[in-house]
């Protein structure tokens, strides 16, 4: 298995800071936040009234209105991101010249078709069961992003979805790594998508008191690792990468962005929403990923942290990083791009894996926006408020999810 190297050959993004990889990256390196007042429904009775909504997006660019009505918004985002990723990888939409049985899809969602479920519940309560959509179930189930993408391109390889809350996309990319390494596919279309900016989604997280209530200052509401952080800011979108076996990519002359060399996954076995206080589960996932990558902790240059801007996550994630990296933790550049993008839940790992790949490619580390007040429990170098230029050979992406799910990826610059 380890003889099969896996590289990233394509990327695609829909996000609150841009509906393409270029727009997304330009926003990050120019410190542009995508967070603002919620516009899609009345939030006057909610504790939190801000979000990172996707803007200027139309599914009409990708499919007919009839096709669009058969899919939830999270699938719209997944298909749009996959289209960009496929195109950037130099793959034709009908997989011309490829064996479709060797192309798989693992693009997941932490929650799935929440907007469809909400709308159909209203129909059920107000108009009765006979008025419920026959497409209700296929529209709400979380595996439908993978299913829809495979049908769109005719990809007949391994195909399923993973649900691990906010770690879903990171797990999907990691499991896709192993699918290619063990020889079950040559290409995987993988990542995550989420569309939960809806009344019920907001109601649930508001009741948990998990989201920021800095409603009058949305651009400064998401403040990872800052002492005055008061919760995350929900966002949405999709991040999709094309993973490809190296020799397969070389034979077709693909552009290689970065190499994926490590993956770790563990459980906290502690609490349904809180991370373990010592960060032990996350630390073990980092060690596992470094072990697969055959790297020492002091060989890592950059960490894109989960960094949600919640009091507990940022404190315990910092503890996990210190546990693994020791003194090197203070030499690393760490950032949480959620200061600009908000938290895209099950899509976050797709977006942030792309951040790692682009940081390696471009030699730029995007900052942690709104880090202004030092926290004694968060005392590492979080690359505050402005990007820095630095040669990056290796990068780590960390994503953590409700249920105690920990997922970590290791990327490095590609060398032949």
- The DSSP-derived string for 232-244 is B-BB-EEEEEEEE
Tokens for 135?
Answer: 């497409």
CA distance 289 to 296: 11
How big is the CA angle at 392 (ends 21 and 324), to the nearest 5 degrees? 110
CB atoms within 10 A of CB 223: 26
Query: Do 113 and 139 form a contact (C-beta atoms < 8 A)?
Result: yes
Query: Do 293 and 410 form a contact (C-beta atoms < 8 A)?
Result: yes
Q: Helices then strands (H, E): number in the chain?
A: 13, 13
CB atoms within 10 A of CB 217: 11
Query: Do 51 and 342 form a contact (C-beta atoms < 8 A)?
Result: yes
Hey, which residues does 7 pair with through a beta bridge?
244, 259
Tell me which residues are annotated as active site.
Answer: 166, 306, 343
CA distance 318 to 144: 35
Helix axes of 73-88 and 144-153: crossing angle, nearest 10 degrees: 40
- The DSSP-derived string for 355-377 is HHHHHHHHTEE--BTT--S-BTT
Which residues, including other chains, have CB under 8 Å from residue 367's CB and lie 6 or more apart?
Answer: 31, 335, 339, 383, 384, 385, 386, 387, 388
Query: Do 260 and 173 form a contact (C-beta atoms < 8 A)?
Result: yes
Query: 247-250: long-range contacts at Cβ-Cβ below 8 A with a sequence spacing of 24 or more?
Result: 248/186, 248/187, 249/7, 249/9
Length of the chain: 416
Q: What is the dihedral of CA 317, 320, 325, 329, to 10 degrees?
A: 30
Alpha-carbon torsion (23, 24, 28, 29), positive or negative? negative
């Amino acid at each position: 298995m380890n003889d099969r190297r896996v590289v990233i050959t394509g990327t695609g993004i829909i996000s609150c800071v841009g509906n393409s990889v270029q727009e997304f990256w330009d926003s990050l390196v120019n410190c542009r936040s995508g967070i603002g007042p919620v516009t899609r429904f009345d939030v006057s009775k909610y504790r939190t009234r801000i979000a990172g909504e996707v803007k200027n997006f139309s599914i009409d660019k990708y499919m007919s209105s009839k096709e669009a009505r058969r899919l939830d918004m999270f699938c719209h985002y997944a298909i749009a991101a996959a289209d960009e990723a496929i195109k950037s990888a130099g793959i034709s939409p009908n997989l011309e010249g490829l064996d479709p049985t060797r192309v798989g899809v693992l693009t997941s969602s932490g929650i799935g078709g929440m907007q469809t479920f909400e709308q159909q519940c209203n129909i059920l309560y107000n108009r009765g069961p006979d008025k419920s959509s026959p497409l209700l179930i296929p529209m709400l189930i979380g595996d439908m992003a993978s299913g829809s993408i495979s049908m769109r391109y005719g990809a007949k390889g391994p195909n399923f979805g993973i649900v691990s809350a906010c770690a879903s996309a990171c797990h999907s990319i990691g499991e896709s790594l192993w699918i290619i390494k063990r020889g079950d596919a040559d290409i995987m279309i993988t990542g995550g998508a989420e569309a939960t900016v809806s009344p019920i989604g907001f109601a649930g997280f508001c009741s948990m008191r998990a989201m920021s209530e800095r409603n009058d200052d949305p651009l400064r509401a998401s403040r990872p690792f800052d002492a005055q952080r008061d919760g995350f800011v929900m966002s949405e979108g999709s991040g999709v990468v094309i993973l490809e076996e190296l020799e397969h990519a070389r034979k077709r002359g693909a552009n290689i962005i970065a190499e994926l060399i490590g993956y770790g996954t563990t459980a906290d076995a502690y609490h349904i929403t809180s991370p373990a206080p010592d960060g032990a589960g996350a630390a073990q996932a980092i060690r596992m990923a470094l072990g697969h990558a055959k790297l020492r902790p002091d060989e890592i240059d950059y960490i894109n942290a989960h960094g949600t801007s919640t009091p507990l996550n940022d404190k315990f994630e910092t503890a996990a990083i210190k546990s693994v990296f020791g003194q090197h933790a203070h030499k690393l550049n760490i950032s949480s791009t959620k200061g600009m993008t908000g938290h895209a839940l099950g899509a976050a790992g797709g977006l942030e894996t792309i951040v790692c790949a682009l940081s390696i490619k471009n030699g730029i580390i995007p900052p942690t926006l709104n880090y202004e007040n030092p926290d004694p429990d968060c005392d590492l170098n979080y690359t505050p408020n402005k990007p820095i230029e630095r040669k990056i050979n290796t990068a780590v992406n960390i994503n953590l999810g409700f249920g105690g799910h920990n997922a970590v990826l290791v990327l490095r610059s590609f060398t032949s």
